[in-house]
Amino acid sequence: MKITDLKPTLVWEIFDEITKVPRPTHHLDKMKAFLVDWAKRHNVEVHTDEVGNVMMRVPATPGHENAPVVILQGHQDMVAEKLPHVKHDFMTDPIETIVDGDWVKANGTTLGADNGLGCATAMAALIDPDLVHGPLDCPQ
């Protein structure tokens, strides 16, 4: 089984994309570029600031414009650790994911689910056509 076979599919597909982007702490240019590109590909309003924050925004589902704004927030970086025998360059290499029964793991490295999975969940909420919502803001 692949990570993209898991449910909810949209969340895991986005997380799979995120695992391919090198994003160790203090080295987030590639992740910032990915987030901006992802937002543009999905017609999501996107803004950045001088320190590297990325803000995505979608309007409310029709009929829910007066609902309060909901902010879905995450952080872009991951803890970059590996087993001593593993050859992995966190500046260039994607994370190799493994589905092991009910667990999603990485092959000899940290997975980056903190907070990659949180970001993927928030991003999925922005584009899920079945989700009824008020305005959504998603700072990453």
Domains held by the chain: number: 1
Does residue 51 sit within a domain? no
| 54, 48 Cβ separation under 8 angstroms | yes
Give, for 46, the enclosing helix (H) or strand (E). Answer: strand 45-48
Backbone angles phi, psi at 51, to 5 degrees: -100, 0
Does residue 81 sit within a domain? yes
Domain containing residue 20: CATH number: 3.40.630.10
Does residue 97 sit within a domain? yes
Does residue 62 sit within a domain? no
Share of the chain above pLDDT 90, in %: 98
Does residue 126 sit within a domain? yes
Residue 58 has what pLDDT? 98
Where in the sequence is the domain holding 82, given as residue range(s)? 3-45+76-132
Task: Point out which residues pair with 103 in neighbouring strands.
Answer: 100
Does residue 138 sit within a domain? no
Cis preceding-peptide flag for 115 (omega within 30 of 0): yes
The whole-angstrom separation of Cα 90 and Cα 23 is 7
Type of residue found at 16: D
Does residue 127 sit within a domain? yes
Beta strands 103-106 and 97-100 are antiparallel
C-alpha pair distances (Å), 30 with each of 19, 62, 68, 102: 12, 34, 32, 30
Residue 140 has what pLDDT? 86
The reported pTM is 0.96
Residues of the chain with pLDDT under 50: none
